[in-house]
Amino acid sequence: MIRHIVMWTLKRPEDAPKVKALLESCQAVVPGIHEFQVGIKTEGLDANCDVVLVSTFADAAALAAYQPHPHHQGVVAQIREMAATRHVLDYPC
């Protein structure tokens, strides 16, 4: 299994719900996605980013199939316009 975590700081933090909806539309685009959770910054809780994606893929091949998928790439393009920073970490779990 491969854990794929991505965190964004947005140019406009109020866009977080839109980014969340965009990401959630990717939840079932390829086989092999086991977990797919999107969280947004919540007032009163500690946060260094506005949006986080925590996902788990069956293996590196499933993650590799997800990355270039046309729907995912469309979402990436939209989020790229809204994001100030992006951090990613993939690791075996």
17-57 pLDDT per residue, tens: 999 999 999 999 999 999 999 999 999 999 999 999 999 99
What span, in angstroms and rounded, lies between the C-alpha atoms of 91 and 77?
A: 24
Contact 18, 81 (CB under 8 A): no
pLDDT of residue 52: 98
Average pLDDT, the chain: 97
Domains of the chain: 2-45+61-92 (3.30.70.100)
pLDDT of residue 54: 98
Residue 31 to residues 48, 54, 69, 87, Cα–Cα distance (Å): 31, 17, 12, 24
